[in-house]
Amino acid sequence: MTEQPAIQDLIPANHCFGCGPDNDLGLQIKSYWTGQDKSLCTFAPQPHHSAGPVQYINGGIIATVIDCHTICTAIADGYRQAGREVGTGDKIWYATGRLDVSYRAPAAIDKPVTLEATIVERSERKTLLHCELSSEGRLCATADVVAVRVPDGW
């Protein structure tokens, strides 16, 4: 069995700071389908991603990886709903309409974090997702995200 490519690596012209493979200075997260409406991302933070206390990940970095993981999941789902492989035919783009993050516990800077996104609801214009970010099996943040479909030229 061959491994599936990361969703981000299939999205054309993706220069996003958090998820864009075309952004050499970005976070370079990678997301993968794990089920019909579920995706997984593992992110290995670097020391310069720290909060004030250097042993924890900065909250903005946490929000960014959640945002990018869920939006890329919505994009991939948009292609699935259209019956196409990600990146084929006319581009499908989603943007963040709402990102509601609840921080529950600090996430260690020296351990990878795992993000699990679930599509809760979808319509033609919006996809609602829930995401959980964990470190060493401990839930550190949750988020509810509204991904809004935008035109290719946005």
Mean pLDDT of 123-128: 96
pLDDT of 96 reads 98
Q: Where are the domains of the chain?
A: 17-150
pLDDT of 141 reads 98
**pTM higher than the cut 0.85:** yes
Contacts of 69 (CB under 8 A, 6+ apart): 19, 29, 31, 39, 41, 115, 117, 131
User: If one looks up domain 17-150 in CATH, what number appears?
Assistant: 3.10.129.10
pLDDT of 1 reads 37
Torsions phi, psi for 150 (to 5 deg): -125, 155
Rounded CA-CA distance 13/77 in Å is 18
> Given a cut of 60, is residue 74 above it in pLDDT?
yes
- pLDDT tens for residues 12-65? 889 999 999 999 999 999 999 999 999 999 999 999 999 999 999 999 999 999
Rounded CA-CA distance 70/47 in Å is 24
* Percent residues over pLDDT 90 in the chain: 94
pLDDT of 147 reads 98
